[in-house]
Amino acid sequence: MRNHILFLTLFLFGFIGGCLPAPVSPTPSNVAHTKKGSAAFRRSGEQMVVEVTLNRTVRTHFLVDTGAGLTMIPSAAARELGITLHAKLPTVPVQTVANVIHVPLVVLDSVEVGGMEVKDLTVAVHDVPIFDPYLPGPLGLLGRNFLGNFRVEIDLNEGFLRLEKR
């Protein structure tokens, strides 16, 4: 039952996050100059997990979530980046199964996947529930405020997420 509630929470975050505009969207000038890149992904059922580099220093793993409007980083990554979460940070409401929670927002200098970087990206800080014990954790979510800067191709046969600058 708990796993079903966690799955529904994740699903609802993607649905609600997809309905809300990202508070700050990167402009085309915020996308690095490289035109194309690719990242190998690990599959777990229908989930795809890619390695992401935050602020050019912290490497972590994110679920690729084309339904989420906003990219989300785990709290452990925020701590490793030296981000202090406090009450004065802006928040975004997220509907869970039980209630609405307010998730803090921060702006990262850069988020990079497969050689493709977006600068000054607003992200939420929240721990995504992990359903598969074989996935590396904690995980973030790679949402449309990152992915929308690129033409995205998912190669299921080869296991690559390909990104091309728009």
Least confident of 29-43, 45-59, 152-166: 29-43
Least Cα distance to 136 among 48, 11, 17 occurs for 48
The predicted-structure confidence for 106-130, as pLDDT tens digits, reads as follows: 999 999 999 999 999 999 999 887 7
With 90 as the cut, is the pLDDT of residue 17 above it?
A: no
Residue 20 is given by DSSP the state S
* pLDDT reported for residue 30: 58
Residue 51 is given by DSSP the state E
* pLDDT reported for residue 2: 38
The predicted-structure confidence for 144-165, as pLDDT tens digits, reads as follows: 999 999 999 999 999 999 999 9
* CA 109 from centroid of its chain's CA atoms: 15
Please compute the mean of the pLDDT values over residues 87-105 and round it to a whole number: 88
Whole-angstrom distance between the N-terminal and C-terminal Cα of the chain? 42
> Cα angle vertex 69, ends 111, 39, to 5°?
40
Q: Percent of the chain scored above 70 by pLDDT? A: 80
- Architecture of the domain spanning 2-165: Beta Barrel (2.40)
